[in-house]
């Protein structure tokens, strides 16, 4: 008497379709109900593999970021890591010997850049200048600067090294500060302006990588990719059954805090997933049609997800606090790929532990690499070791930009990414 077989799956490999046809039995399946969810997970897994997100999350949770340093480089999709590694090595080798020339201008390097641990100490080498590495000297910094002040004409800031008014006052010949970061919160811009010192930063070369990472963190959060990865690796799928379900990305209301270049790249990607975008920024952008909120709390109230993309400043320090998180609500998620101190970390941890928000994807923290221990116990938190920019392709571009800025300066040419003072 059977006239209908209904399958809850899209596939029909578990049904004898030929026999159903012979008996005149109708067959119904799930159609395309699962298509968008499966596509989201496919995209999430691809980002996870290329950006090593689940592996990096395990690395952080095991306390290895604190004890062993930065996690491994990842890759974009355009060039193979092998070819890029060879490119970087050959580029450095070409200038290594020439950079030892003692007669070229000297550039102060206060701390070793992360790139040195990955590619060696000649990563930023050139025949146009020589790096003077303060961290290799046994002298106290003040004494080192006093001893070498007459030779230093530029400063390369990397690895979190601050360029303060005190340092600049000890180096009267300095006319250029080059930072490997996009943000400028570690440089005393007012003092640079007063002394007529040019400043260059990383420009927009990190924007695409950071935006990809933000989307990866968001999909990871909603679809519980890294948490499910740990579940499977522990053998719990076989022992305890299916992992808890996640949430759909399509139609999520995503509020972007800071619609600069990175925020704009995030918005572009989210549009392709069918998300509803709104934003908060220093001012309304005439070039975009997304709804604008001048108040971050109002943005949070009207969002399912907040993605933090703004620069760190006095105005944005702890701008994401308990009030904003409460406005986001118990079903809300937050992703931070900007700076740790933009969020009041203590209040965020409290909200996560008490279930005041649904989850967080964090690439940055207030006291890196020291992370609040409470976060390690939470499966609704994705932890990333400040690695949003850690791709081989971006390090290639960064080397070209940093070296290019310094060579242009010492050749009296136009700088490649000069910061325009407000």
User: Does pLDDT of 232 surpass 60?
Assistant: yes
Distance CA 287, CA 309 (A): 18
Q: Write out pLDDT tens, residues 65-81.
A: 999 988 877 766 444 44
Average pLDDT for 378-397: 93
Q: Name the CATH superfamily for 42-72+207-383.
A: NAD(P)-binding Rossmann-like Domain (3.40.50.720)
Q: What does the pLDDT look like over 84-99, one tens digit per residue?
A: 555 555 555 545 544 4
Q: What is the pLDDT of residue 242?
A: 95
Environment class of 291 (CB within 10 Å of its CB; exposed 0-12, middle 13-18, buried 19+): middle
What percentage of residues in the chain have a pLDDT greater than 70? 93
Q: Which residues are catalytic?
A: 339, 368, 386
- CATH T-level topology, domain 81-205+393-410: Rossmann fold (3.40.50)
What confidence score (pLDDT) does residue 102 get?
Answer: 61
Question: How many beta carbons lie within 10 A of that of residue 52, not counting itself?
Answer: 21
Q: Is the bond preceding residue 369 a cis peptide, omega within 30 degrees?
A: yes
Least confident residue range of 8-17, 108-117, 370-379: 108-117
Q: Please state, for a pLDDT cut of 90, what percent of the chain lies above it.
A: 84
The 10s digit of each residue's pLDDT in 32-42 is: 999 999 999 99
pLDDT, tens digit, 9 for 90 and up, residues 148-167? 999 999 999 987 799 999 99
Higher pLDDT, 82 or 117: 117
Q: Rounded mean pLDDT of 218-226? A: 97
Task: For the chain, give the longest Cα–Cα distance.
Answer: 98
**Dist CA 416 CA 403 (whole Å):** 10
Instruction: State both tokens at 184.
Output: 């400028």
Residue with tokens 């009030």: 323
Sign of the C-alpha dihedral computed for residues 370, 375, 376 and 379 taken in this order: negative
State the pairing for strand pair 333-336/198-200.
Answer: unpaired
pLDDT for 81 equals: 45
Asked, colleague to colleague, whether 42-72+207-383 and 81-205+393-410 share their fold, the answer is yes
Per-domain boundaries in the chain:
1-32, 42-72+207-383, 81-205+393-410
Q: What is the pLDDT of residue 91?
A: 56
């Amino acid at each position: 008497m059977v006239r209908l077989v209904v399958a809850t799956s899209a596939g029909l490999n578990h049904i004898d379709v030929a026999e159903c046809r012979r008996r005149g039995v109708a067959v119904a399946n799930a159609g395309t109900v699962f298509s968008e969810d499966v596509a989201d997970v496919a995209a999430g897994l691809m980002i996870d593999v290329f950006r090593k997100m689940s592996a990096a999350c395990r690395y952080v949770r095991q306390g290895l970021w604190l004890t062993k340093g930065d996690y491994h480089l990842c890759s974009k999709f355009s060039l193979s890591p092998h070819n890029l590694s060879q490119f970087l090595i050959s580029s450095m080798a070409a200038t290594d010997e020439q950079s030892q020339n003692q007669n070229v201008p000297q550039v102060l390097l206060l701390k070793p850049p992360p790139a040195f641990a990955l590619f060696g100490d000649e990563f930023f080498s050139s025949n146009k200048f020589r790096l003077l590495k303060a961290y290799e000297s046994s002298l106290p910094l003040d004494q080192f600067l006093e001893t070498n002040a007459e030779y230093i004409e530029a400063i390369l800031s990397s690895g979190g090294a601050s360029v303060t008014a005190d340092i600049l006052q000890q180096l009267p010949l300095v006319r250029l500060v080059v930072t490997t970061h996009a943000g400028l919160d570690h440089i005393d811009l007012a003092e640079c302006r007063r002394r007529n010192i040019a400043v260059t930063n990383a420009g927009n070369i990190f924007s695409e990588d950071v935006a990809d990472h933000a989307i990866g963190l968001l999909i990871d959060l909603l679809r519980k990719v890294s948490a499910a990865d740990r579940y499977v690796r522990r053998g719990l799928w076989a022992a305890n059954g299916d992992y808890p379900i996640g949430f759909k990305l399509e139609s999520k209301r995503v509020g972007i805090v800071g619609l600069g270049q990175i925020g704009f790249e995030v918005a572009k990607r989210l549009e392709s997933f069918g998300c509803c975008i709104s934003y908060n920024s220093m001012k309304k952008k005439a070039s975009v049609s997304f709804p604008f909120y001048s108040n971050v709390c109002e943005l949070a109230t009207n969002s399912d997800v907040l993605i933090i993309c703004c620069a760190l400043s006095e105005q944005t320090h702890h701008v994401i606090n308990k009030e904003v998180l409460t406005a986001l609500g118990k079903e809300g998620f937050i992703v931070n790929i900007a700076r740790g101190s933009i969020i009041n970390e203590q209040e965020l941890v409290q909200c996560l532990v008490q279930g005041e928000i649904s989850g967080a994807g964090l690439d940055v923290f207030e006291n890196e690499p020291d992370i609040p221990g409470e976060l390690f116990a939470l499966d609704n938190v994705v932890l990333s070791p400040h690695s949003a920019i850690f791709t081989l392709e971006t390090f290639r571009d960064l080397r070209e930009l940093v070296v290019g800025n310094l060579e242009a300066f010492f050749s009296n040419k136009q700088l490649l990414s000069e910061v325009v003072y407000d």
